[in-house]
Structure 1
Amino acid sequence: MMRHFAFAASLALTTALTAAPASAEDRLIDVSTKVEEGTITLTLPKPDSDGVAGRYLYVAQVETGVGSAATNVDRGAPLATGIIRFRRMGKKVVAELENTRFYAPSGSAAQQESVENSFPTATLWVGEIAETAKDGSISFDIAPFLAMDHFGFAQQLGEGYALNKEGSLADPARVRVFPENAEFSAMLTFTAKDAPAELRNVSPASGTIALWVRHSLVELPAQPMSVRTDPYGFAFSVPRYDFSAPLGRSMLTKLAERHRLEKTDPTAARSPVKEPIVYYVDGAAPEPVRQALIDGVGWWAEAFDAAGFVDAFRVDVLPADIDPLDMRYNVVNWVNRATRGWSYGPSIIDPRTGEVLKGSVMLGSLRVRQDILIFQALVGSGLTDTGDPNDPVPAALARIRQLGAHEVGHTLGLAHNFAASSQGRYSVMDYPAPRVTLVDGQPSIADAYGVGVGEWDKFAIRYLYAARTDEEAREMVREAQARGLRFVGDADARGTGAANPEGSLWDDFADPVAELARIMEVRRVALARFDVNAIPGGQDLPSLRRAFVPIWLLHRYQVEAAAKALGGVVAPHGLAGDAVEVAQVSGADQRAALDALMAALSPEALTVPARLQPLLSYGPATDYDYSTTIEVMPTAGGPVFDTLRATEIGAVHVLDSLLDPQRLNRLEMQHASDSEVPSAHDVTTRLLARADGLAAEGAVGRRIATTIALDLARTAREGGLSRSIALQIDGQLARWGERLVNSSGGSEEADWRRGLGALLSDSDKLAAALEDKALLPDVPPGMPIG
């Protein structure tokens, strides 16, 4: 079935596609190959007056991945999309990418030419013309172009990697040419003398990585899709700068990415569509995951129906004889890696209009297993596959439905909306936290995830696909604002210094501070019941250390969410004339957040139950397994679990959010105009008072206090921190250090006080200590949790 995006791209490939290549008279490009010589010769028509012999949409995709989450070089990943033209220059042929970012669509011919000549193109390759025919057509071997690293793989793989030209070849045997497209494949080989651990872990030969890249030349759409702009940032967009825009108006135009979807009756509020959007789930996804993906991706049919498009969205399993890189098909790829990593929802687009030509979702296969690990540790592995309301497998499949819907939502054009959790699961475009509750005093995952698209998703599809004009879309936004629908995108939600408390990753409920208190209680119960039942029977006992980490850090994302109230500012998205306004979080709410974060730094919160130390110390050590080593906390030697290191890690995580330089800078600014808001000095004073009091709380208390002192010292040296705040912190530490040095007695506490005081009082010694990256521990990876 051909997709309706103005060109019927038949990008089928090699043996995966049953359809035969087109006949010589019915091919996009005249291509001849010599397998023995390794040549792939293109013959293009006589060049025009500018020397251009051919102009195509150029698409590159990863055909075989690296299998390392650290590189993001995954099977099925789009690499490049652009308009390529082949230009004759003397005896050479030049492959160059056009610059589509700058244009003057309503300007005169002279203005359009001026803009085109004012910005550069990109030269990808210069080759030799092998033959010029009597009719003026030119022939050249494109194999060298295909075997180049146009995509920055060497940098992506890591420092030290370089393309091995001798080991990089285009394969003439894999060339296929069709009426609307030509397909080529090339093997690229990269070598490094000192490969990083994450790549030694996946390569059969240390220091050598080989992968295949698909190159496609595609006929350009004869009728480009009409464009829609998205000034709000609700959708992914293509930035273009319009030099013909009226004076006084912005030149920046954000072309919304979206599929071409047309009603059979454009004037009807509800109408069938000329051709539906169809997504296919990779058959490589095993059951029951495959069915869960079909179910979750299929949720979008409801959103399109609500927008007035009847039978506009469908989902099915990709037929076995169809190549997932075929441009005719939107595919949800099932990607395998050696370690868990992110899933993605990239699209291949027409850069001139934002039209989505192919959705190419990549779902990491290990994320569902990570969820099951967490759920088994929470409720016990014995409930797995039992059909119990707390069975970890159905809960993990519920997340897979969400994940499939989420990533496909990106390829439909939708951006993240991290405000959804604050309004009752009203969008799959958030990162949903697994909702863990206490039922009869025990953790429950019976309501871990929601079902179906939410109100925001229905609005966003209507906004993106049903609005026929930008003004009509703006009126839809005004209606949504009046209904109270909120939007918080990536820029306002990511990073420990983010300011908007209404948008966080993997948080839950409307009140982040109250939810932190609730999840801390769930964590307390989960730690109290953690035992060998956290892993399935027959599994190696050292696996308990991996299962323990997400339970110990169960509160990590809610800590980040609560911290955003400190120096918090709600800044809604809007345009001039919209009824929206910025609001600062009240001083009372900010102080409540500070109280909650201080509670998370208490010995009660950061003491590993004594009974768990031997349980987490079974041998052997885990350094033989890279995928486990990167997920666990360091031990105290061999398999001996270090409970006090866990204390430090818990403290560092809270302090990273609390002491973010941007947060402290905002507190200072807000306090200057509102004394009810805690100042940066108030925060650091409370921390030092807490550290001083913890000295008498034994080893755990001193570990927390030491971590507070060192983290404050490190924060004072952060480049993004106001120098006035840095000087305040240095002054506080110096004053405390002088007092500590004068401590008397020979107890552990007194000796610790004098030792820490000596360090804080010696600026050179302190600076040298802070240079040691191991001084404060790294927090084990958390994202993505599902």
Structure 2
Amino acid sequence: MQMKWWMTAAAVSLVGAIPAHAQSQQTAPTLLPVRANPADGRVLFTLPAADADGVSGRFLYATALRTGLGSADLRLDRGMLGGEQIIAFRRIGEKVAVTFENHRFRATGDTKVAEGGRTSFPFSIVAMLEVVDTGDRGPLVVDMTPFLTRDVIGIADTLNRGAPAGASPGGAGGGGGGGRGFRLAEGLSAVDTASVKAFPDNIEIDALQTYQTETPGREVERLSPEPRQTSFVVHHSFIRLPAPGYTARAFDIRSAAGGNQYYDYGTPLGAPVVQQVANRFRLEKTDPAAARSPVKKPIVFYIDRAAPEPIRTALMEGVNYWTRAFDAAGLVGAFRAELLPEDADPLDVRYNMVNWSNRLTRGWSYGGGIVDPRTGEIVKGNVVIGALRVRQDMIIFEGLVGTAGNGSGGPQDPVRASLDRIRQLGAHEVGHAIGIMHNFAASTQERASVMDYPGPRLKLTDGRIDLSDAYAPPGGKWDDFTVDWLYADPAPGIDPDAAARAKAKAAMASGMRFITDVDGRSADAASSWGSMWDDGADPVAHLRQTLAVRRVALTNFGPAVLRQDEPLSNLRRKFVPVWLLHRYAAEAAGKLIGGIDYSYAVAGDGQPPAIPVAADVQLAAIDAMLATLSADTLTVPAALVMPLSSATTARDDPQYTQEIFRTSGAAAFDPLVAADVAAQVTLGSLLAPARLARMVEQHRRDPSLPGLDTLFDRLEAAAIAPRQDAVGRRIAFRTVMSMARAGRDPMASPEVAAAIGDRLQRLATSFGQRGSGEDAAWRRHLATLLADDERLERELDKMPATPPVPPGMPIGETGWFGD
């Protein structure tokens, strides 16, 4: 009989009642003696004798999902990690308590000080286990089954959750749809005794868990074969605590390294109670005194074989980018990517993984890991890549340049550009898994980091869209600095934290920019440099370039963007990312308006103080944003309206329906909806209450900076006054309604609300002037609406009447440190 890989000497699976003589012949010890009995479905652990504190074993405990839900909205993905805990076993009478210890609160000091810190905050007993047997010298045999079948990941809560913020409306055909009343069905759940594997430093176990309800919700209904009884395979890992000798790296706000936060009530007076350490792998040179040295144990990430070719190879090539950064830091052979061995389990904690997860609709990719909560040491790196992301890239690029170049390798090849993007994505998510945060300012310094969200560089060459430089090989000088800061320790005798602080100061002094999620993710954020999906040092120039590419793409748009025999109705799907190509460039330009140039600084590092963006730059950004609201920009070419109305007999497909504009009934494409949606994208950023409040305050302190009167005058002239046709009137209507909504926003300052209210009253007066024709009727309607607060409020509450903006972030991801 062929021996399975987990039955080798290094990995012993104790399935059923193994004879004593067979057990004695095992050549490698395991973390704990384990016995899995298929006859009664129980898994038994033999715990060590209690220590001086009465603890019979303390381990790092982690969970993961072996099978997923396949939903982009309800995150229960194949390969996804749950949380990690320090787990301890303690006998209490006839039971053994399974305890999750609380290491977030502590007190450094003598025994009594430390005890005071530990006992001031709660711990959690999560199971009371039956003692099956007691050995002669004290070891306990306990039945782990009740613990292994509990809802450790919070699956029921996730299934019961509705659509997350930002999910596409139901009317658009997707998003949301969480159920109600899901609960763990104990009678339909069990430990998979055949899955149990024990190794010297870890134990791996699967459990089958079923969640039951009579109201599963739309999302589960379209994914599960029996939505009222939806099952998962949940994985448990018990891990030997990392050995002593790991050196934590003190967190530095300038470094882009994410970290663990804890509270230390034993710090000296004058020192902060809140402490943070950077997350990183343990990486040690064989020669600590050498500037360059091989390492004792390299970081190896494994690529999931579930990823098909050529994507699998592209992922490996992208992840291997980090090899160069570690080598530049003097850590020779410290990092590499490999294909997961055929017989390896991707959920085994010994394998750092890049998992491939399929979902019904496109969604996030993310990177993280299992981290020792006491020290911040990364024990396992873990990435989940959404499989539809590369296909979305193909849709975008085919919509821009057509399908004729597919697979050619040339400057207009959507396949080549999409694989370049997946290389960048693999490197980006592994960056999170080795401890690095986003840097959304890197795109303004010539692609300085793979940890930005990169917009494709779209060039016009001889009047044609050129994808040849859409994505550069991953990485740059910021990544080199971050790896060096996080992983390269100085020679013995030099304070490593002091050396790291010096590196951070030098990086900032050299002009490197760093803006992460808290200052870069929101469209109304104040940072002038932190934007997602932008490209280049000048956001205004980038917006103008993007609009030029968009014009060419719209001119060429038609059946040539489809593959042979692809339904003509798919034009509507590929039209959306082309029509909204400028959405992120507009957000980047918008951040200059009321924007502030600032950095993450510490006392004494010599960085310049924060300053508002210069007046001429803000005015240029306003004009560039307003250009996106012109009727010329937002009029769908007449030649496209009928082709975009092509019908289909195919069954409903959420991958398609959530990505298209609302129609005028069945297949009838509505060009005014397209104009309305694009206007919303710009107006939502331009009229964000936080931005308007900053403009008020900046103008108050420096009248040379544009205030709200300047913004509203230009907005009125560009988007409200020119109403020669229906497109112009739709843009004007959405502008007026967006202003009214911004003035009533709970976050609007009194000054902003007053300025908007005054401007709307003036518009109502001008709209009420006499006249004839369609525009006069339109003006009278708006004048009546603006003069009646209750009617206006009802109009603003009619959200279903507002055309929904299809999902954004076409190539987006979220990170472990940004969640």
TM category (shorter chain) comes to over 0.9
> Which residue matches 1:306?
328
Aligned-pair CA distance for 1:681? 4.0
Distance 1:681 1:210, change over 3 A: farther
User: Which letter does structure 1 place at the counterpart of 2:721?
Assistant: G
User: Which letter does structure 1 place at the counterpart of 2:760?
Assistant: L
Distance 1:17 1:216, change over 3 A: farther
Deviations 1:593-652 (CA, angstroms, capped at 9, x unpaired): 111111111101111111111111111277711111111111110011111000000000
Q: Distance in 2 between matches of 1:669 and 1:594?
A: 17
User: Which letter does structure 1 place at the counterpart of 2:620?
Assistant: A
TM-score if structure 1 supplies the norm length?
0.95
> Which residue matches 2:755?
728
Q: Distance in 1 between matches of 2:757 and 2:96?
A: 63
Distance 1:85 1:224, change over 3 A: farther
> Which residue matches 2:619?
591
- Residues 101, 241 of structure 1: 8 Å contact kept: yes
User: Which letter does structure 1 place at the counterpart of 2:565?
Assistant: G
Gaps of 5+ in 1: 1-11
Aligned-pair CA distance for 1:46? 4.0
**Pairing 1:493–2:520 present:** yes
Q: Distance in 1 between matches of 2:582 and 2:126?
A: 48
User: Which letter does structure 1 place at the counterpart of 2:621?
Assistant: A
Aligned-pair CA distance for 1:444? 1.0
> Which residue matches 1:115?
117
> Which residue matches 1:9?
none
TM-score if structure 2 supplies the norm length?
0.91
Deviations 1:705-743 (CA, angstroms, capped at 9, x unpaired): 110111111111211110231132123223322442x33
Q: Distance in 2 between matches of 1:28 and 1:457?
A: 37
Q: Distance in 1 between matches of 2:5 and 2:150?
A: 20
SS in 1 for 2:800: coil
Q: Distance in 1 between matches of 2:684 and 2:395?
A: 26
SS in 1 for 2:382: strand
Aligned-pair CA distance for 1:253? 2.0
Q: Distance in 2 between matches of 1:279 and 1:182?
A: 20
**Pairing 1:21–2:42 present:** no
Aligned-pair CA distance for 1:350? 1.3
Match of 2:85 among 67, 82, 86: 82
Distance 1:188 1:14, change over 3 A: farther
**Pairing 1:212–2:249 present:** no
**Pairing 1:643–2:646 present:** no
Q: Distance in 2 between matches of 1:240 and 1:706?
A: 51
> Which residue matches 2:537?
510
User: Which letter does structure 2 place at the counterpart of 1:600?
Assistant: T
Alignment of 1:451-530 (within 5 A): 451-468=473-490, 469-530=496-557
Alignment of 1:157-168 (within 5 A): 157-159=159-161, 160-165=180-185, 166-168=187-189
Alignment of 1:217-232 (within 5 A): 217-232=238-253
Distance 1:109 1:74, change over 3 A: same
Match of 1:440 among 462, 477, 482: 462
Distance 1:453 1:704, change over 3 A: same
Aligned-pair CA distance for 1:131? 4.5
SS in 1 for 2:642: helix
Aligned-pair CA distance for 1:13? 9.0
Deviations 1:644-679 (CA, angstroms, capped at 9, x unpaired): 000000000001111111111111111110112222
> Which residue matches 2:440?
418
Please report the RMSD computed on the Cα atoms of aligned residues, expressed in angstroms. Answer: 2.1
Q: Distance in 2 between matches of 1:94 and 1:496?
A: 48
Distance 1:193 1:702, change over 3 A: farther
Alignment of 1:150-189 (within 5 A): 150-159=152-161, 160-165=180-185, 166-189=187-210
SS in 2 for 1:426: coil
Deviations 1:288-319 (CA, angstroms, capped at 9, x unpaired): 11111121111111111111111221221111
Q: Distance in 2 between matches of 1:91 and 1:627?
A: 55
Q: Distance in 2 between matches of 1:55 and 1:407?
A: 31
- Residues 279, 314 of structure 1: 8 Å contact kept: yes
Q: Distance in 1 between matches of 2:735 and 2:209?
A: 49
> Which residue matches 1:333?
355
Q: Distance in 2 between matches of 1:17 and 1:549?
A: 57
Q: Distance in 2 between matches of 1:208 and 1:690?
A: 56
Q: Distance in 2 between matches of 1:554 and 1:152?
A: 38
Q: Distance in 2 between matches of 1:150 and 1:625?
A: 33
Q: Distance in 2 between matches of 1:772 and 1:692?
A: 21
> Which residue matches 1:294?
316
Q: Distance in 2 between matches of 1:710 and 1:399?
A: 38
Q: Distance in 1 between matches of 2:711 and 2:147?
A: 58
Aligned-pair CA distance for 1:250? 1.6
Deviations 1:525-578 (CA, angstroms, capped at 9, x unpaired): 111110111111111111111100100000011011000001111221121111
Q: Distance in 2 between matches of 1:213 and 1:784?
A: 30
> Which residue matches 1:608?
636
Q: Distance in 2 between matches of 1:420 and 1:207?
A: 47
- Residues 236, 414 of structure 1: 8 Å contact kept: yes
User: Which letter does structure 1 place at the counterpart of 2:629?
Assistant: L
- Residues 634, 678 of structure 2: 8 Å contact kept: yes
Q: Distance in 2 between matches of 1:534 and 1:302?
A: 38
Distance 1:667 1:622, change over 3 A: farther
Aligned-pair CA distance for 1:171? 2.2
Higher alpha-carbon deviation: 243-252 or 534-543: 243-252
SS in 2 for 1:381: coil
Deviations 1:210-256 (CA, angstroms, capped at 9, x unpaired): 11110111111231511101221511101122222221122222211
User: Which letter does structure 1 place at the counterpart of 2:416?
Assistant: P
SS in 2 for 1:139: strand
